[in-house]
Amino acid sequence: MSSLFQFLRSTVFTKIVMAVTGLMIVGFLVGHLLGNLLMFSGPEKINAYALGLKNLGPLLWLVRLAMISALGLHVWSSIELANRNREARPISYQEKKSLKSTFASRTMMYSGLAILFFVIYHLLHYTFGIIQPQTYFDNSYTLLSGEVVHNVYNMVIAGFQNPFIALSYMFAIIFVSAHVSHSVSSAFRTLGIHNPKYLALTAKIGPALAAIFLIGYLSIPIAVLSGIIKPVCDNTEACATMKDCCK
């Protein structure tokens, strides 16, 4: 029992927590991106997708709680490891030389904190409707099935038509991509994938996912700002405040 307790307090366990929760978050980002790209398919697809998620009921909240827990544990483990590193080396180097480290690896803590603040902001905006409540609550769409649903399509467009929101989102995605480019490969090493046959592959997975996230997530606000994705109306009153709508 004491050995188990020591393991749970060890640096090895903390690194495992960071690796596992990091991979969980990356998995969520992949699924989230696939859903978000439905914006290019028009309001019917993205709004039906949003309704499908809503109909999951308790299962959706279970996934949300799991991801919030994963994010919290990921932040905790990163802070814990940073504190242990400082305690192990109380006197810092007079001159730091980065031999093999990349910019992404050297800024993991900062990019992680930036992502955390953005996630909170993003939830307040698109999940709880506290930011831009007029576009969140007063916005409906009638599916081809006849069911009236929340118009997620127009809500996303209304958000990204605001340059501040669009730019903050883009900067956050850049931080996410930089974080992922290093963390995924590091997570595989932490979990024991040291075979030289796989190291070359795992070293490429992080940068490849980072590039996919960067292009995929940035494409939506850029398409909105450039007018490629435009709002559509279920009725004239519902989008009276929307730019370039009902034309």
Query: What would the pLDDT profile of 43-63 be if each residue is shown by its tens digit?
Result: 999 999 999 998 998 998 899
pLDDT, tens digit (0-9, with 9 covering 90-100), for 200-213: 787 888 899 999 99
Q: Is residue 247 part of a domain?
A: no
Tokens of 28: 């969520």
- pLDDT recorded at residue 247: 45
The helix (run of H) or strand (run of E) holding residue 168 is helix 163-190
Write the CATH number for 53.
Answer: 1.20.1300.10
The arithmetic mean of pLDDT across residues 65-76, rounded, is 89
The arithmetic mean of pLDDT across residues 68-91, rounded, is 81
Share of residues in the chain with pLDDT > 90 (%): 34
pLDDT surpasses 70 at 103:
no
Q: Is residue 169 part of a domain?
A: yes
- pLDDT recorded at residue 92: 52
- pLDDT recorded at residue 170: 93
pLDDT band at 7 (very low <50, low <70, confident <90, very high): confident
Q: Is residue 55 part of a domain?
A: yes
Backbone angles phi, psi at 141, to 5 degrees: -145, 140
pLDDT band at 35 (very low <50, low <70, confident <90, very high): very high
Lowest mean pLDDT among 40-44, 61-65, 82-86, 184-188: 82-86
pLDDT surpasses 70 at 98:
no
- pLDDT recorded at residue 55: 92
Separation CA 149–CA 127 (nearest Å): 15
Q: What is the pTM of this model?
A: 0.80
pLDDT surpasses 90 at 106:
no
Q: Is residue 227 part of a domain?
A: yes
Mean residue pLDDT across the chain = 81
pLDDT surpasses 60 at 246:
no
pLDDT surpasses 80 at 19:
yes
Q: Is residue 120 part of a domain?
A: yes
CA distances from 155 to 39, 117, 210 (A): 11, 21, 26
Of 43-47, 108-112, 135-139, 237-241, the range with the highest mean pLDDT is: 43-47
Looking at per-residue pLDDT, the higher value among 2 and 59 belongs to: 59
Tokens of 173: 């995605």
Q: How many domains does the chain have?
A: 1
- pLDDT recorded at residue 101: 53
The domain in which residue 67 lies consists of: 2-87+104-239
pLDDT, tens digit (0-9, with 9 covering 90-100), for 145-160: 999 998 999 989 998 9
- pLDDT recorded at residue 89: 66
- pLDDT recorded at residue 237: 45
